[in-house]
Homo-oligomer: A and B are copies of this chain.
Amino acid sequence: MAISNIRYGEGVTQEVGMDLQNLGARKVCVMTDNNLGQLPPIKAVLDSLTKNGIHFQMYDNVRVEPTDYSFMDAITFAKKGEFDAYVAVGGGSVMDTCKAANLYASNPGSHFLDYVNAPIGKGKTVTVPVKPMIAVPTTTGTGSETTGVAIFDYKELKVKTGIASRAIKPLLGMIDPLHTLHMPERVVANSGFDVLCHALESYTALPYKMRSPCPSNPINRPAYQGSNPISDVWAIHALRIVAKYLKRAITDPEDREARASMHLASAFAGIGFGNAGVHLFHGMSYPISGLVKTYKAKDYNVDHSLVPHGLSVVVTSPAVFTFTAPMFPERHLEAAEILGADIRTARIKDAGFILADTLRKFLFDLDVDNGLTALGYSKADIPALVKGTLPQERVTKLAPRPQTEEELSTLFEASMQLY
């Protein structure tokens, strides 16, 4: 169980220059995306760097929902810059791009697919030392500031995959809730669904003792270990925060308590899934976002079609839990109760239906689009969606119940409409 360091508090971002000075950094790469370039979070970071005399170069070309091409652009920048530290200011896309840039710039002889998860890439163990990276999250969902995972769209296969290694985990995540105040409503909602799913999936993931293979040498073990008594603490705590604060954070941008709580929940759930792993929602989400046609998400200022990650993840959750609940019904019921279900007279065999219904109500109440149909998919797309899920075995194997291709088809079909 590897846990990241996090620092929490309004205004902590102002300290980043001192931290870099303490690290002895002389040439720092600041990464962000061009939406954030003019906003307070990046201003706070640059002010702190300037004040502490830290020499830096800025890369603001991160793509929202990055691809192998956008990763490679950032890697090229990082290689040229020969940086000795990195600061990522943004959501998961920025932090993940920064992790990849740091990794490949620290190991310039490697090929891009060397560290990409198998079976798409070679899934090599990272043995080179990477530079220290400080992550300043500006959304409340990814938890990427606490994990060793970097996700991207692999264009050739039209599917999401990633790099997963403890080595690329940020040295420090700075949770500064001031940065959440600029978030538009749907960004709060969709990133909140990511927190919800991180918590639900890590809590219901295959228990760590049942995972296989389990390499005898600890260095060869994956970051995702299966659910365990430590990740459970984080998952349940994050789920409680989501149940209490997500709606408030979405509907009232001035509700500082709610937005700060979701910012912490994002990191907490990140620590949980960063060690336990995610499973089917995430595995099925990668083709849902990778195969996007014309859907454009409200409140996202991008020039390409986009199913935001949190939305692509949550949309299959009712169907998936109906399918997985027979394996660990108590945990599914417990999650339903935390999300508001009255389970006093519930039968254990109904756990999946109860959690699925609870999630449907929860999502309807938060204005989530009505299933895959609303995101532009039809039944004709199901074979492609299934095909895109199959290579995600790094996560799908952590589902509490194994899936055949037919079962995956049924799960996508059941997710066409939610209500």
For A18, the chain B residues whose CB sits under 8 A away are 216-219
Partner of A3, one of B3, B216, B219, B228: B3
Task: From known contacts A5-B2, A5-B3, infer whether A19 and B218 are also in contact, taking CB-CB under 8 Å.
Answer: yes
Q: Is A75 positioned at the interface, with any CB of B under 8 Å from its CB?
A: no
Task: Say yes or no: is A364 at the interface (Cβ < 8 Å to chain B).
Answer: no
A-side interface size class: 20 to 34
- Give Cα distance in the complex from A3 to B171, angstroms: 11
Interface 1/0s, chain A 237-281, versus B by CB < 8 A?
Answer: 100000000000000000000000000100010000000000000
Closest B residue, CB atoms, query A19: B218
Residues of B within 8 A of A419 (CB): none
Asked if A343 lies at the interface with its beta carbon under 8 angstroms from chain B, I say: no
Give the residue name and chain of the B residue nearest to A236 (CB).
B237
Give the residues in chain B near A4, CB-CB below 8 Å. Answer: 3
- Identify which of B8, B19, B228, B233 contacts A1 (C-beta below 8 A): B8
Smallest beta-carbon distance A111→chain B, Å: 24
Q: Is B217 in contact with A22, judged by CB distance below 8 angstroms?
A: yes
**Chain copies in the assembly?**
2
Q: Is the CB of A6 within 8 A of B230?
A: yes
> Which chain B residues lie closer than 8 Å to A26 at the CB level?
none
Bound-state CA distance A19–B219 (Å) is: 8
Interface presence of A213 (CB below 8 A): no
A229 touching B22, Cβ below 8 Å: no
CA A219 to CA B5, docked complex, whole Å? 14
- Chain B residue at minimum C-beta to C-beta distance from A237: B233
> Does residue A7 face the partner (Cβ distance < 8 Å to B)?
yes
Instruction: Give bound CA distance, A143 to B52, whole Å.
Output: 37
Residues B1 and A7 in contact, CB atoms below 8 Å apart? yes
Task: Compute how far the CA of A233 lies from the CA of B234 in the bound complex, rounded to whole angstroms.
Answer: 8
Question: Interface code A7-23, partner B: CB below 8 Å = 1, 0 otherwise?
Answer: 11100000100110010
Whole-angstrom distance from the CB of A146 to the nearest CB of chain B?
10
How long is the Cα–Cα vector from A181 to B165 in the complex, in angstroms? 35
* Alpha-carbon separation in the docked complex, A218 to B216 (Å): 38
User: What residues of B have a CB within 8 angstroms of the CB of A264 in the complex?
Assistant: 229-230
Interchain CA distance A4-B230 in the complex, whole Å: 12
Knowing A8-B230, A237-B233 touch, does A219 contact B22 (C-beta < 8 A)?
Answer: yes
Contact residues of A between 364 and 411, Cβ < 8 Å to B? none
- Using A1-B8, A8-B228, A18-B216 as known contacts, list a sample of 14 further A-B pairs with CB atoms less than 8 Å apart, ordered by residue number in A: A1-B6, A1-B7, A2-B5, A3-B5, A8-B229, A8-B230, A9-B209, A18-B217, A19-B219, A22-B218, A22-B219, A230-B264, A233-B233, A233-B234
Q: What is the interface of chain A, defined by CB distance below 8 A to chain B?
A: 1-9, 15, 18-19, 22, 208-209, 216-219, 228-230, 233-234, 237, 264, 268
**A and B contact pairs by CB, cutoff 8 A, 6 listed:** A3-B4, A9-B209, A15-B218, A18-B216, A18-B219, A229-B264
